[in-house]
Chains A and B, each alone.
Chain A
């Protein structure tokens, strides 16, 4: 079955880069997503990557995809205290109707 794994916690200092990692098992994944969730709030789509891409950059965010190893990472450059949140990795399979499998989330804590 499908499974998405993430490390649970990451702590960085303001201004440093953050790298959040994710592994998945479904080789038929079509799209992979990164969502951000602040306490008591909904999910904010940060970025996504199609499975035939290796890298995608969007301002401070860089997504790297290693399809062979089924490894996805999210790099946040110049991390700010406002980036403190839980980050979820999610994959979309080939079902064709957009159901997502989420990891348990990585809590990013940015200290001044």
Chain B
């Protein structure tokens, strides 16, 4: 069965600190996709990144970076020099490519960035 675990329920940091949000997944499929979404206080779900299981290169987008490690089944998300606007709930998600067509979300991590 597929599963996504975000063990950090809530994290508080002071502005300009770096913060890493953890995501651990389980799947038996060899081809799958991982995602991160952001849900700001306004409630909408904003897509951040999609990564396929064959691409283990880390990705950087501005202050955001993602570390994908198949060996530990993790897809962690780091925000560098956090800002108050980063305060949100962040969800990690998993989807297999050919088998169930389902999407499995983690329970989310609430990030509070304090000024």
Bound pair: A and B?
Answer: no
A interface residues with partner B (beta carbon < 8 Å): none
B interface residues with partner A (beta carbon < 8 Å): none
